[in-house]
Amino acid sequence: MTIAPTAWLAARQPVPPAALAARLTDALGARANEPTADLVEVLLCAGEALLSRLLSEGRTDRQTALDLLAADAFVTYAFEAASDEPALVTERAQRAMAQISHLAVAADL
């Protein structure tokens, strides 16, 4: 199935708060309305990129709470989307954990 990330996110229930929905769309950038066959990867990459930027800038305080929440939401939504292909969930989870854990090493946490 090919779908734009914003179209898929808009169909989620419950609907995220407006500020979070706007932040998710903003963080997706040019990919927000670009149809994709690999929604899981797009969402995981968006969450990883957002978290990577925050960690590299040393910004994990209250002022970045919405960005941290958005990064978490991207990963959560990625696995919601991944549930459409249960046979791949374990592989995707292992890859996501490896990629995200490397962010802490890169940020020297």
User: pLDDT by residue (tens digit) across 44-102?
Assistant: 999 999 999 999 898 888 999 999 999 999 999 999 999 888 888 888 888 888 888 88
Q: Which pTM was predicted?
A: 0.87
Gap between the Cα atoms of 76 and 81, Å rounded: 9
Q: Is the pLDDT of residue 4 over 80?
A: yes
Sign of the Cα pseudo-torsion (78, 83, 84, 85, in order): positive
Q: Are the C-beta atoms of residues 5 and 28 closer than 8 Å to each other?
A: yes
Please report which confidence band the pLDDT of residue 107 belongs to, taking 50, 70 and 90 as the band edges. Answer: low
Gap between the Cα atoms of 26 and 12, Å rounded: 17
Residue 79 has what pLDDT?
Answer: 93
